[in-house]
Copies of this chain bind each other. A is one copy, B any other.
Amino acid sequence: MKLSTRSRYGLLAIIDLAINQEKGPVPLREIATRQNLSENYLEHLVGALRRAELIQSVRGPAGGYYLARPPEEISLGAIIRVLEGPIAPVECSHLDEEGCLSPEDCFIRGFWEDLRVEVNQVFDARTLNDLVQKARYFKSISGCLSSSKGEEE
């Protein structure tokens, strides 16, 4: 029931993006350098965020990424679901009929479904903007989330 590094890295990246996009699209290289993450690996995560239309890209020189919507319209839940897959306690609760022999007779299905909804609400109640606000409060968004020593400067 933990989030993987995909979420940690991906979230770091999108926060970095939100903070640095004022001067135009932010190249992945810069994000990777600032956050001390593997650019190659970030590529996959950012690709997923783009396909989910949370961010957009500009190709070619001076290209990079930017948010597809203002940060207050991007929920934490939306980001995490992209990076981590559906937030679901057990698989069957987000499946349709298949994979469950008799949905109506499965006493546990509704139970999980309720749980899933509530957990998602917890995540959806927060937005990227909340994170950006907190991040601005500090000099650097390195630290707990990244593995860097955060001592640049």
Residues on A facing B (Cβ under 8 Å): 1-3, 7-8, 76, 80, 84-92, 100-103, 105-111, 115, 118-119, 122-123, 126, 130-131, 134-135, 137-138, 141, 143-145, 149-150
**Residues in B whose Cβ lies below 8 Å from that of A134:** 107-108, 110-111
Stoichiometry, as copies per complex, reads 2
Known contacts A122-B118, A122-B119; A100 and B144 CB within 8 A of each other: yes
**Residues in B whose Cβ lies below 8 Å from that of A100:** 143-144
CB pair B150 A101 closer than 8 Å = yes
CB pair A131 B119 closer than 8 Å = no
Report A83 CB to chain B, min CB distance, Å.
10
CB pair A85 B115 closer than 8 Å = no
CB pair A107 B2 closer than 8 Å = no
**Bound: A145/B110 CA distance, A:** 12
**Residues in B whose Cβ lies below 8 Å from that of A90:** 2-3, 7-8, 144-145
CB pair A115 B108 closer than 8 Å = no
